[in-house]
Structure formats: C-alpha cells, structure tokens
C-alpha cells in the first residue's frame, strides 16, 4: 500500500526527471511516504488489544493486554462474579462490566455495540450456569 502511494505520488514528477528541481522535492516526498508508513504501522499496533477470560476451577480470571502499556489482570470466585450491561451510563453505549471480589472491571470495550450485546448475553448465560 505504501509502495502504491509512493508510485502514484511520483507520477507528476516524471517530467522533472534529470533536473535539479527533483532533488529539491525528493526529500519531502520521502518524508511524506515515511510518515504514511509510520501512521499505518501505528494504526495496526493499536488494534492489537487482547482480552482473555479464563476459568480455572472456581476462579474466573480476566487478563487485558493493551497494545501499549502493562498487562492488567483481575480475578474473583466465579460464584460471586456478575456481569452488567450499562445501556446509557458508561463511556460507550451498551458498556459491559464484570463485578466481583469488590471490584468492577470493563470487558470488551474495543468491540462494536452489537458485539458487546452478544458478549453480555453469552457471559450472562455462562455465569448463570455456574
């Protein structure tokens, strides 16, 4: 994609081939292509968020690994865990939280609104079976 942008961006400069003006413009073109590459790489890395919810016996553990920053972990007894759906009260519509062990944590904040609804339904059914 970056190579394509570079190739298409240089089409107007073909008339300048062999002239001194091209050498004056070339560093700025390379700067723009480098900024485009950096922006795309940063965007891809920002999407590398991982949340894992695991059950180990009676312990429910939520591990949140952001793209940058330290890993956060939360655990509680599965029998005391509750899932809540905040339709309007949270920072996002249909905000899903887990409560247990005296703490409330968000889960699935990077998901779309419809995916958070499905997540709530599945978590609620899973916790009610326990």
Beta-carbon neighbour count of residue 76 at 10 Å? 20
User: Do 58 and 97 share a domain, yes or no?
Assistant: yes
Into how many domains does the chain fold?
2
Interval 54-95: pLDDT, tens? 999 899 999 999 888 899 999 999 999 999 999 887 788 889
User: Do 81 and 58 share a domain, yes or no?
Assistant: yes
Tell me the mean pLDDT in the region 16-32.
84
Higher pLDDT, 33 or 122: 122
User: Do 10 and 54 share a domain, yes or no?
Assistant: no
Structure tokens given for 67: 């793209």
User: Do 81 and 115 share a domain, yes or no?
Assistant: yes
Query: Residue 116's pLDDT band (boundaries 50, 70, 90)?
Result: very high
User: Do 87 and 118 share a domain, yes or no?
Assistant: yes
Degrees to nearest 5, angle at CA 89 with 84 and 93 = 80
Last residue of a domain, one of 27, 46, 65: 46
Residue 86 sits in which domain range? 50-129
Structure tokens given for 40: 């795309």
| pTM value > 0.75 | no
Q: In whole angstroms, how far apart are CA 94 and each of 19, 65, 83?
A: 60, 22, 12
User: Do 57 and 34 share a domain, yes or no?
Assistant: no
């Amino acid at each position: 994609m970056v190579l394509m942008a570079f190739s298409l961006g240089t089409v107007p400069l073909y008339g300048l081939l062999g002239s001194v003006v091209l050498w004056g413009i070339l560093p700025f073109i390379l700067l723009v292509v480098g900024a485009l590459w950096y922006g795309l790489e940063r965007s891809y890395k920002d999407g590398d968020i991982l949340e894992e919810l695991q059950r180990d016996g009676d312990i429910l553990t939520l591990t949140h690994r952001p793209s940058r920053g330290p890993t956060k972990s939360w655990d509680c007894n599965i029998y005391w865990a509750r899932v809540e759906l905040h339709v309007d009260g949270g920072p996002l519509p249909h905000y899903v939280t887990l409560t247990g062990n005296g703490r409330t944590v968000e889960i699935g904040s990077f998901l779309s609104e419809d995916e958070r609804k499905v997540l709530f339904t599945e978590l609620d059914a899973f916790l009610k079976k326990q």
